[in-house]
Each structure stands twice: as structure tokens, then as C-alpha cells.
Amino acid sequence: MSRALARRETIAGYLFMLPSLFFFITFVIYPMVMCVWTSLFNSTMGKEAQDTFIGIANFVELFQDKIFLKALWNTILIVVVSVPTVCIFSLWVSSRIYNMPDWACSLFRVIFYLPVITGSVAVTVVWKWMFNNYYGIFNYVGTSLGILEKNINWLGDERFALWCIILILFTTSVGQPIVLYVSALGNVDQSLVEAAQVDGATDLQVFWKIKWPQIMPTTLYILVITTINSFQCFALIQLLTSGGPNNSTQTIMYYIYYTCFKLYRYGYANAMGVVLAIIIAILSAVQFKVAQEK
Amino acid sequence: MKKALALILALCLALSVVACGGAASSAPASESTPAEGGEAAPATTQITLATYPIGKWSDEAVVNELIAGFNAVHPEIEVTVQYLDYTNGDDAVNTAIEAGTAPDVIFEGPERLVANWGAKGYLVDLADLVNPNTYASVIGSCTSENGAVYELPVCMTAHCMGINKDLFEAAGAWQYVDAESHTWTTENFVKAVEALVAYGHTNVGAVYCGGQGGDQGTRALVTNLYGGTYANAEHTAYTANCAENVKALQLLKDLEGINFDASIVGGDEVSLFANGTLAMAFCWNVALENNNAETIQFDAFPMAFPTESGDPVLQGGIWGFGIFDNGDQAKIDAAKTFVEYMTTGDAYVAAVEASSYWPVFEVEGMYEGNEQMTEYGLLVPYMGDYYQITKGWTEARTAWWNALQAIGSGTDVQEALDTFVETANAAANAA
């Protein structure tokens, strides 16, 4: 290929990238830079309000803020519980359904994917009704069967509220991993599976030695996406508990929203955003590293 | 062929960028619409009205009728309406303010217009539009500490309680109610709750604290029971940790039948009352009764909050117009024309009726013969200090339901209220 042709192709390539690059810079890079920049200021709402440079004071305050620390703990708990359960459950379901007849496999995929395509508000309203303290179905069934002595205020009791959120998050998170795993398992090289079986490998060995390495890229993708989604759990909290009771369902994302939109402390909220982004980046990097080593 | 395809594709992509960029360019602030045939027409000023759900001001048909009346007199002003709710309305307005696209006119109360957006310098002083007959206390609540009137008041009400009269009668609790004055004593309130529980209705009332929605009810309940206060008379500090409020909350905490419920807010409580689950609602007023008329299958009886003295102090609601200073004098003038129209003559009566509340100055014959408004009107004289304009109000509201949640979870009442006052006063001092 001549240099002129190569240059022309390079230019064409960049031109094709330009629209995406524009959106990426405008809606990702620029807000990221602004977020870091604003986190260094005491920035608030007001026509006459002036932003004051305060260096890392917002970050120092963050780690003395009991609510932030509680939110951080809750967020980590959500991630630690939901990421493995989502991955394991979706892998198990996928492994059971991927070799079923097409109609059955599609049916299960639709069932598990439905909560994903249903709007989060609609899903949340239904769950809120089911958890209702006075006439919710869980209390109705529980008390009718004698499992519960009296109604439980699922979302109003700090012992249960966060677990209810995790349960809802679980149901809305498994759809996409199941679809991806079904696809990945379907693409596993059958000749290797058959060869292993001929050599006397057990089902577990076939899965662990043959299938698992081949679906590793999918697993990595699911791990990263589920981790990010769990960290960014917001709508459920906003619609169900507003972070209560007693901050027991407070998450970093919700606390960012509250600090920004209710208290108008833009700098402080941005500082939280920076910390959250760093945590997510570190975890994602670790996940990539571990997966690559495998 | 390949080149042509690439060119078309590149053009499409480039156009999509231009199209998106085009959306960012703002239209001229005041737009004039040319008449057909190229003749110059009178300039049409477009303004946006944002309204919270105040009575029927959330009903598009009602609001359109009000605006049609305005346009019959002022065809040169085009009004676009944005309907807000109390869950996300503040966020929508705040985002619009930061984006430079705040509505021109907004219909809400002093806690937002005066204590928040007005105090932050976003609103226009409307002192020149105030009707001199407006009740002094109302004007006082709409006036900022710098003397500017950031809310042109339209209507007002006294938030009260609602009780299920049928259930009260069945449980033998009706005897504890002064049906004529719609008041009761703290002692009788307790007896009524006990009677209802004994009757088998275990969910008598809920101290809802899942969020700030309807928090005027829980504040009024607590401060009335033993005559406590929420903020000082100067509206500079919060005083809710007084001994009277501690006693009141302890009473509520210990009273069987009253649940501290962190899973619901005022709106949920109203629904639970309307469908008969709860025997009483602490978040209630005439508009709420009308809005839930189809659900309510019993006689919803409005009541003042119980007091030891028999002299209740109800939480007021005052709603009116604020005008955002968006830097366009033509729009400000048009907005002023709109609010002046809506607060004068027959249009004013229609605007107040749409709210389902009461006028802020004497309007002869209004609600005459209206049994429901006469009944609820008995409670309006109990309206107390409008302390919602105390500094740091936004943070104080959150601190309040957090305190109630803490009490519901077993935290010592005094400790929870001390934390509330500390947080709220810190916000007031920082404001």
C-alpha cells in the first residue's frame, strides 16, 4: 500500500470516528474533567454565589462524613453480594437452558429478560406494592401460612430494607448475563467437548476445563458490567427508600444526588463522584487482571 | 460506488452532529410571529409557567381554561405550562436554573419561592403587584428578609388531620371529638386511639417518615400535642428539641396503634387513609379529600391537631406566583402581566377555585353555600406561624424525617431531636 493511500485511509478513519469522538468528548471526557475540577471547589447554587478553591478539603471532609462512610459500606455490600450471585445464578440458568429446544430456550430468555426491558419505575412500583407493610403480598402470604407472626415493614425496617433492595437489583440484573451466557455457551467448540467426553471427562471437568475458559471473556464482561451497575444503584433507592431508614439503604450514588440536588453542594458531590469513579476503576482493573491471568 | 457510499455515510454522520449541535442554539428570547402575507404582526411573547400540583392546578383542562381566559385579554402572550410534582419538581427546576432555562413563572409556596430561589437571587421582586388588601401575615410570609416580595400570594389553607368518622363512631371513639369546633384534646386523642385499637383497628395512624412528602402533618402533630415549637419566631433557628416535643414524640412512640413508618410518605399515608387502612391521616386538607373522592367510601371528617390547651396551631399553606429573572425584560414584563391578571377580578376567583383553597384577601360571597368549604373553613383561623421560611429549610426537612426514622428505630427521642436541631441550625447558620 502506498503512503498516500495509507494516509488517505487514516484520514478517512478519523473522519468516521469524528462524530463518536465528539459525543465521547462532550458527554464523557468533558464532564469527567469538570467533575474532578469542581471537586476542588466549594461550589453551590446562587446567582451571586462564587466558587471558592478549597483544594482537597472536600475529600478530607468525605472521610469524616459518617453518612458517606455508611453509604460506602452499603454500596460495597451491594456489590459484594449482588455481583457473585448474579454471575453464578445466570451461569447456572444459562447452562440449564442453552441446549434446550429453541422455543424453550427463547421462552426462558424472555422471562429472565423481561425485568430488564420493563422500565425501572414500573418494576419498582410493583415491588413496592409487594413489600407494602399493610397489604403487601409477602406479608399476606407470610402471615397466612403462619411463617410470619405479624406484618413486617420490609422497606421501613433497617434490618430488611437493604436486602430488599439487593433482591430487586438481582431480579433486574440477571437478564442480560443470562442472554450473554446462553450465547457464549452455544459458541463453545463442540469438538473439544466431545473429545473430552471420549477421553472420559466428567461433566464438571468438561465444564471447568473446556467450557469455562472459552466463556471467560463473557464472564469478564458480565463481572465488569454488573459491578458498575451495582455501584450505580440509584433508581431503586430513590423510588423506594430515599436512603432510609436511618441511612440503612444509603448508597454513594444516592448520596451524590442528595448532596447535589437537595443541599446544592456541587463541589462535595463531585468529590464523591471522583471517589466512586476511582473505586470502580480499581475494581474493574483487578477483574481484568484476574481474568487475563486465568 | 464504495466512495459514494462512504461519502453519503460521512454526510449523514456529519449532519447528525450538526443536528444535535443545532438543538443547543437557543431561540431568541422574545419571539415575534409574522402574520400571513408578510405583514408585521404584534410581537408574541412566549412565557413558561411551571406549576406544582396545587389542587386542580395539576389538571391540564382546568389550567388550559384559565390560560384561555388570559389569552382572550392578552393574545400577545403565549403561555406554555410545565406540570411539576413534589417528588421531582425541585430537581427539574434546579436543573433548569443551572442550565439557564428556568421557567418564567412558577406557582408554589414561600418555602421554595422565598426561602430558596428568592434567597438565592433568582426571582424578581413583585412588591409592586401586591394587592393592598392581602392579609398582612400572608404578605409577611411571602417577603424575604431583604424586603423583596418573591411570591405574589394567590391562595392559602390550613393543613389539618382527617379522621374516618364512620370508624370512629363504630369504635365508640366519636365521643372524644368536638365535632362542632373540629378540635380535640391530647387526652381525648389518646383515648380515641385506644378505643380504635380495642375495636380491632390496629393501624390507627402512621407517623410517616419515608421522605419529606407531607411532613407538615408530622410537624404539626408533634408541636400541637403539648404546645411545642419547631422554629423561633424570628425564623432564624430551629427549636424542635424542646421538652414539649420530646414528650409528644415519646407519647406517639409508646401509643399502640400509631406506627412510625419509614416506608411511606405523606402521599402514601393519604392513600392508606382514603382506602380505609388507616383510621386517621395527619396529612390532610380539602384538596386531598377532593382528589381522593372516588376512593373514599366513608365520611372523612377534617380535624385540627390535638392539643392540651384546646387551642390548635395549624400549619399553613400559602401558594402564589414567583417570576424568574431570566435576563429578558420582555419576558419578565409578560410574566408580570400574567400574574397580575391571575390575581385580579374574576380571574383571581377562578384561580383560587382551581386551587380548592381560600383567597388571601376578602372576596365577598366566595364559597357561599359550599358546605364542604364552610366545614374546612372552620379550621383556617387556626393557621399559625409560617416558619417554613426559616433559613436552612431544605436541609431541615430532611433532618426531620431522619429524626423520626431514628426514633422509630429506637433512638432516644431527646437524642434524635438534638441531632435534628444541630443539623438544621448548622444549615441555617451556613445559609
Instruction: Report whether pLDDT(B24) > 80.
Output: no
- Out of B6, B16, B211, the one facing A242 most closely (by C-beta) is B211
Give the separation between CA A103 and CA B232, rounded to whole angstroms: 70
Determine which of B122-126, B191-195, B382-386 has the lowest per-residue pLDDT on average.
B382-386
Instruction: Report whether pLDDT(B280) > 60.
Output: yes
- Out of B121, B395, B408, the one facing A245 most closely (by C-beta) is B408
C-alpha cell at B5: 457510499
Instruction: Report whether pLDDT(B35) > 80.
Output: no
Structural domain for A209, as ranges: 66-293
Output DSSP code: residue B36. Answer: G
- Give me the pLDDT at residue B190, please: 97
The reply to whether domains B45-157+317-380 and B160-313+391-430 share a CATH topology is yes
User: What interface predicted TM-score (ipTM) does this complex get?
Assistant: 0.81
Higher pLDDT, B37 or B143: B143
- Give me the pLDDT at residue B4, please: 46
- Give me the pLDDT at residue B29, please: 39
Residue range A77-112, pLDDT digits in tens: 999 999 999 999 999 999 999 889 989 999 999 999
Q: How far is B97 from chain A (nearest CA, A)?
A: 9
Using 50, 70 and 90 to split pLDDT, how confident is the model at A181?
very high
Residue range B250-268, pLDDT digits in tens: 999 999 999 999 999 999 9
- Domain CATH number, residue A239: 1.10.3720.10
In a domain, A58, yes or no: no
Q: B409 at the A interface (CB within 8 A)?
A: yes
- Out of A135, A155, A262, the one facing B263 most closely (by C-beta) is A155
Cβ contact (<8 Å) for A153 and B263?
A: yes
- Out of A47, A154, A261, the one facing B120 most closely (by C-beta) is A47
Q: A31 at the B interface (CB within 8 A)?
A: no
Superfamily of domain B160-313+391-430: Periplasmic binding protein-like II (3.40.190.10)
Q: How far is A155 from chain B (nearest CA, A)?
A: 5
Place of cell 384561555: B68
Instruction: Report whether pLDDT(A274) > 90.
Output: yes
Instruction: Report whether pLDDT(B180) > 90.
Output: yes
Q: B178 at the A interface (CB within 8 A)?
A: no
Q: What is the mean pLDDT of residues B356-377?
A: 90
**Over chain A, what is the mean pLDDT?**
91
Using 50, 70 and 90 to split pLDDT, how confident is the model at B27?
very low
Q: B261 at the A interface (CB within 8 A)?
A: yes
- Give me the pLDDT at residue B40, please: 56
- Give me the pLDDT at residue B325, please: 94
- Out of A18, A46, A242, the one facing B210 most closely (by C-beta) is A242
> Contact at 8 Å (CB) between B161 and B280?
yes
Using DSSP bridges, classify how beta strands B45-51 and B77-83 pair: parallel, antiparallel or unpaired: parallel
Coil, helix or strand at residue A42: strand
Using DSSP bridges, classify how beta strands B152-158 and B358-359 pair: parallel, antiparallel or unpaired: antiparallel
- Give me the pLDDT at residue B11, please: 39
Instruction: Report whether pLDDT(B412) > 60.
Output: yes
Using 50, 70 and 90 to split pLDDT, how confident is the model at B159?
very high
Q: Helix-strand-coil percent breakdown of chain B, rounded to 5?
A: 50, 15, 35
B150: chain A residues, CB-CB within 8 Å: none
Cβ contact (<8 Å) for A156 and B98?
A: no
Q: A18 at the B interface (CB within 8 A)?
A: yes
Of the candidates B290, B313, B309, B291, the one whose C-alpha atom is nearest the C-alpha of residue B386 is B313
Using 50, 70 and 90 to split pLDDT, how confident is the model at B12?
very low
Instruction: Report whether pLDDT(B403) > 90.
Output: yes
Radius of gyration of chain B (CA): 25
Using 50, 70 and 90 to split pLDDT, how confident is the model at A283?
confident
Higher pLDDT, B16 or B314: B314
Residue range B341-355, pLDDT digits in tens: 999 999 999 999 999
Residue range B420-429, pLDDT digits in tens: 999 999 999 9
> Contact at 8 Å (CB) between B70 and B354?
no
- Give me the pLDDT at residue B34, please: 44
Q: How far is B236 from chain A (nearest CA, A)?
A: 18
A242: chain B residues, CB-CB within 8 Å: 210-211
Place of cell 402572550: B77
Q: A258 at the B interface (CB within 8 A)?
A: yes
Residue B399 contacts by C-beta under 8 Å, 6 or more apart in sequence? Answer: B419, B420, B423, B424, B427
In a domain, A17, yes or no: no
Give the count of domains, chain A.
Answer: 1
| H or E element that contains B303 | strand B300-303
Q: B15 at the A interface (CB within 8 A)?
A: no
Using DSSP bridges, classify how beta strands B316-323 and B77-83 pair: parallel, antiparallel or unpaired: unpaired
Q: What is the CATH number of domain B45-157+317-380?
A: 3.40.190.10
Give the separation between CA A155 and CA B146, rounded to whole angstroms: 44
Partner B, chain A 127-166, Cβ-Cβ below 8 Å: 131-135, 153-158
Mutation choice for B interface testing from A133, A155, A270 by most B CBs within 10 A:
A133
- Give me the pLDDT at residue B2, please: 45
CB pairs under 8 A between A and B: 89
In A, minimum Cα distance to B18 occurs at: A19
Using 50, 70 and 90 to split pLDDT, how confident is the model at B20?
very low
Domain spans of chain B?
Answer: 45-157+317-380, 160-313+391-430
A47: chain B residues, CB-CB within 8 Å: 120-122, 325
Mutation choice for B interface testing from A51, A140, A246, A247 by most B CBs within 10 A:
A246
Instruction: Report whether pLDDT(A293) > 80.
Output: no
Using 50, 70 and 90 to split pLDDT, how confident is the model at B302?
very high
Residue range A197-211, pLDDT digits in tens: 999 999 889 989 999
Q: A53 at the B interface (CB within 8 A)?
A: no
**Over chain B, what is the mean pLDDT?**
88
Using 50, 70 and 90 to split pLDDT, how confident is the model at A159?
very high
Q: What is the mean pLDDT of residues A34-57?
A: 91
Partner A, chain B 22-81, Cβ-Cβ below 8 Å: none
Q: B202 at the A interface (CB within 8 A)?
A: no
Using 50, 70 and 90 to split pLDDT, how confident is the model at B31?
very low
In a domain, A155, yes or no: yes
Q: B419 at the A interface (CB within 8 A)?
A: no
Residue range A164-176, pLDDT digits in tens: 999 999 999 999 9
> Contact at 8 Å (CB) between A222 and A87?
yes
- Give me the pLDDT at residue B23, please: 34
Residue range A7-23, pLDDT digits in tens: 999 999 999 999 999 99
| Buried b or exposed e, range B304-320, using 16+ CB within 10 angstroms | bbbbeeeebbbbbbbbb
- Measured in whole angstroms, the distance separating CA A124 from the mean position of its chain's CA atoms is 16
Using 50, 70 and 90 to split pLDDT, how confident is the model at A47?
confident
- Out of A133, A246, A261, the one facing B263 most closely (by C-beta) is A133
- Out of B122, B203, B325, the one facing A134 most closely (by C-beta) is B203
Give the separation between CA B302 and CA B288, rounded to whole angstroms: 11
Coil, helix or strand at residue B137: helix
Of the candidates A256, A284, A86, the one whose C-alpha atom is nearest the C-alpha of residue A166 is A86
Output DSSP code: residue A149. Answer: S
pLDDT above 70 covers a percentage of chain B that reads 90
Question: What interhelical angle do B329-342 and B60-73 show, nearest 10?
Answer: 110
Coil, helix or strand at residue B316: strand
Cβ contact (<8 Å) for B203 and A16?
A: no
In a domain, A26, yes or no: no
